[in-house]
Amino acid sequence: MNQDQNSPLREDVRLLGEELGRVLREQAGEALFETVETVRQAAVESRSTGEMQIDHLRQLLDSLDDETLLEVARAFSQFLNLANIAEQRHRERLHRQHQRFSGDPDSDQSLRQVLAELKGAGIPQKEIYNTLQRLSVELVLTAHPTEVTRRTLIRKYDHIAHLLAALDRSDLTQTEIQELRRHLYEQILSAWNTDEIRRARPTPVDEAKWGFATIEQSLWQAVPQAMRTIDEELALAGLAPMPVDWVPLSLASWMGGDRDGNPNVTAAVTREVLLLSRWMAADLYLRDVENLLADLSMHRASTELLTHTGPSHEPYRLVLRRVRNRLRTTRAQLEARIKHRPQPGGEGFDNGRQLFEVLSMIDRSLRSVGLSAIADGQLRDTLRRLNCFGITLLRLDIRQESTRHGDALDAVTRYLGIGNYANWEEARKVEFLLCELDNRRPLVDEAFYHTDFCDESVREVLDTCKVIAEQGPEGLGAYVISMAKMPSDILAVMLLQKIANVHRPMRVVPLFETLDDLNNAAATMGTLLNIAQYKQRVLKGQEVMIGYSDSAKDAGFLAAAWAQFRAQEALSGIFRNHGIPLTLFHGRGGSISRGGSPTRTALLSQPPGSVAGRIRVTEQGEMIRFKYGRPSVAVYNLEQYVAATLEATLIPPAEPRQEWRGQMDRLTKVSVRSYREVVRDDPALVAYLRTVTPETELSRLALGSRPARRKPDGGVETLRAIPWVFAWTQIRLMLPAWLGTGAALEQALKHADETDLLRAMSRQWPFFQGVVDMLEMVLAKSDTRVACWYEERLTQEAALVRLGKTLRERLSRTVSALQQLTGHESLLDNNPVMRWSIRVRDPYTDPLHLLQAELMARLRNRESDPVLESALMVTIAGIAAGMRNTG
């Protein structure tokens, strides 16, 4: 990016910094402002010299009392959040200008560029059109606990972003500029006087409401705007217009449905979330209808519509008033169900088809009487919203761990006196499940629910299936089985739905997570497809979820990435041979080690033929806010998904060469061994994690409703993937993203032939190129000196000091190996925007790191201290903001 392009970002950062400084002076006093400035200048000087003057910084911070430490932490944390706003705003500015940064991994191709590329590749327009018609991109919003910023602050930050956008206008008068600056100051002042830390852990219902708010405040506007952008690009490319209601985008959610290891998500919670979701949908459609009532005042109408209304000077308004009344009734009935009150009478909308038919009739009428321009306005937006969001706003997935289903069926078989299901061999389980799936009689009677066999855990599984039965299919998505391993895991969920009398069962989606499970995924699904009864049930399509988090935690980033690639490749081949459409569901997170990467990079890194016009992907934690929190940003990211899915479908990457596969096999063999010799075999690893990183302190941060550990006292294997990544990110060691990979690259680069092969792979193979780019990005955020600060302050234990030294040496060697591979003298030589972003944050994150280590040390010597605990939570949130990443 050239200087002129970068200058507006620098100007925004300067402006926000000035306003924050003004707030600090007025609210906290000149002394605190001077303290913050002194610390900041010391950090800047330390970074500029290339050697951290750690002693000077420590002396400045050690002399501060607890209250001042808290205020200093808040000041640096606030600046980092403001810097993020400026950077996000700058990306909006560049997206609008349709400019791209050469080599910037956040730069994806626009739909216009993809359509031009397809034309250049000789893809017939009819094939492009047909592919677009059946294109399916489903984004699944999850409640994974990586969003550290409070919702109330997010709203203030959104307002600040809006004000920055307003200040971009070139026609502002001086008075208007002053007024906008005044509002900007007010918002920063308000943010400073707002508690940064969420004091109460959110419930699953709170998380669901947060998801609804994202739709209400952003995606409700963004989806039709994105579709208009897509329409314009298709027209420019000479493609025929798509159907009026065409929307290749849809949304689902795990908020209120993801019960894997979360005891707070119950059947009652899922029921409430489903009802709240429908209530919100009715409310939003009611607003749309009110707007349509104001606009559709014309009298010319089709015979079809007049048949419904009779003679009328305003027939559209007559129809819409009836729709409005039904929506009001729908909303009132849902509210009564949520509050457990008697439902009011009247006719509401039971399903989306009912509302769609009425609005489609209005659309046909307008077009038939020459008012297509009116139909293409707000009405078309509403029809598209209806196709995207349905009458239920979000389709809710259910997720549960596989052993919970086995336990429920074990209780049933023991109740029936036919043995212990848990002890049966896999073949016997499959035989039993298939037999019962085809059996017309009920497997258990009502009496089972009142026996000791049906304990609380079993009852919860069965009650969840009852909720599925009572809600119907329209508001439900996939039933995801985490830690799926065997064919019986999939068949078990199908039988449990039958036991609950689910007439239109949810599709059952196995989630293959660990390295072994990914390697065996194709064999498991192949066994099922060779069973005629099962194949008949999935003829219209099968969905399989690929896990990124747990596989990386199990075997390291590189081995997990290669296992994911091979699993998708094998699964695609099996389903293609059986003639059954396959949708791959990618369980990606925001961090590199959990599969996070730019959209185009992610999709073009998949095996050729595996996308095939259909993609389903999770959007997690803070990434929901970064990508969809503002309508203009959401429009860009939605268009990117459509463009990248189209590109990956019609111009898939070439098959990897056999020598590349062999090289990946060699690399992953070394990387798994190197990764596991630390994570599994080094007895100091768990102690180091809990002593040197804030892993134990993270449990104090009310991030989400789910516990951080599957078992409170377990080791690394019981720690969830998100806090595992979060803890290492906080101390800038970034271990999950590179451990093992560096050793593999280092060994391969000792040989000239392997070096040439690796460089060819990084140039010609999108999968490996994505691995290298992501590794370079995460290594640029790492800092061995920062990690050392924590260790020096928090431990003198010989085993931990030895391990810390080893890890930092491995990290340094990984950086050297990557530089040798890429030929870059410094990390991110090819990505100046990202390099500048990291550099501008360092003087603000450095003091937070030092403060965090000091606060951890002080708190570990005290039973409780509210001021220090608050300061520690602020440093965690601030560092997360500075790193633009948590878990």
Instruction: Tell me the per-residue pLDDT of 29-63, one tens digit each, with 9 for 90 and over.
Output: 999 999 998 888 888 877 776 555 677 777 888 88
* pLDDT higher than threshold 70 for residue 879: yes
Q: Stretch 467-496: mean pLDDT, rounded?
A: 94
Alpha-helical (H) ranges within 681-783 are 684-692, 721-730, 735-738, 741-748, 752-764, 766-781
Domain presence at residue 825: yes
Among the listed residues 197, 167, 168, 169, the one whose alpha carbon sits nearest the alpha carbon of residue 70: 197
Cα–Cα distance, 527 to 620 (Å, whole number): 32
Positive or negative, the CA dihedral 190, 192, 195, 197 is: positive
Domain presence at residue 234: no
| pLDDT confidence bin for 281, thresholds 50/70/90 | very high
| Contact in structure between 749 and 820 (CB atoms under 8 Å) | yes
Q: Are residues 380 and 407 in the same domain?
A: no
Domain presence at residue 226: no
| Per-residue confidence (pLDDT) for residue 304, from 0 to 100 | 96
| Per-residue confidence (pLDDT) for residue 718, from 0 to 100 | 56
Domain presence at residue 334: yes
Higher pLDDT, 17 or 864: 17
Burial class (CB in 10 A: 0-12, 13-18, 19+), 589: buried
Q: Are residues 699 and 774 in the same domain?
A: yes
Cα–Cα distance, 81 to 232 (Å, whole number): 35
On average, the pLDDT of the chain sits at: 89
The enclosing domain of 291 has a CATH number of: 1.20.1440.90
Q: Are residues 314 and 406 in the same domain?
A: no
* pLDDT higher than threshold 90 for residue 601: no
| pLDDT confidence bin for 881, thresholds 50/70/90 | confident
* pLDDT higher than threshold 90 for residue 174: yes
| Per-residue confidence (pLDDT) for residue 595, from 0 to 100 | 46
Q: Which long-range contacts (CB under 8 A, 24 or more apart) does 304-307 make?
A: 304/361, 304/364, 304/365, 305/361, 305/362, 305/364, 305/365
Q: Which pTM does this prediction carry? A: 0.89
Domain presence at residue 235: no
Q: How many residues does the chain have?
A: 887
Q: Are residues 336 and 350 in the same domain?
A: yes
Domain presence at residue 475: yes
Domain of residue 704: give its range: 658-830
Q: Stretch 264-279: mean pLDDT, rounded?
A: 96
Q: Are residues 689 and 777 in the same domain?
A: yes
Which residue has 């000239």 as its token pair? Answer: 752
Cα–Cα distance, 459 to 407 (Å, whole number): 11
Q: Are residues 847 and 774 in the same domain?
A: no
| Per-residue confidence (pLDDT) for residue 195, from 0 to 100 | 82
Q: Are residues 478 and 490 in the same domain?
A: yes
* pLDDT higher than threshold 90 for residue 826: no
Last residue in a domain, options 389, 424, 448? 389
Cα–Cα distance, 119 to 136 (Å, whole number): 22
| pLDDT confidence bin for 155, thresholds 50/70/90 | confident
Say which amino acid occupies 170. Answer: S
Question: What is the percent of the chain where pLDDT is above 70?
Answer: 91
CB atoms within 10 A of CB 97: 9
| Contact in structure between 738 and 778 (CB atoms under 8 Å) | yes
| Per-residue confidence (pLDDT) for residue 471, from 0 to 100 | 86
Q: Are residues 865 and 717 in the same domain?
A: no
Domain presence at residue 642: no
**Among all residues, which ones are annotated catalytic?**
144, 553
Q: Are residues 583 and 442 in the same domain?
A: yes
| pLDDT confidence bin for 98, thresholds 50/70/90 | low
Q: Are residues 40 and 156 in the same domain?
A: yes
Q: Are residues 743 and 662 in the same domain?
A: yes
Q: How many domains does the chain have?
A: 4
Helices 798-822, 684-692: inter-axial angle, 10-degree rounding: 90
Last residue in a domain, options 558, 588, 616? 616
Last residue in a domain, options 787, 812, 830? 830
Q: Are residues 587 and 676 in the same domain?
A: no
| pLDDT confidence bin for 101, thresholds 50/70/90 | very low
Domain presence at residue 172: yes
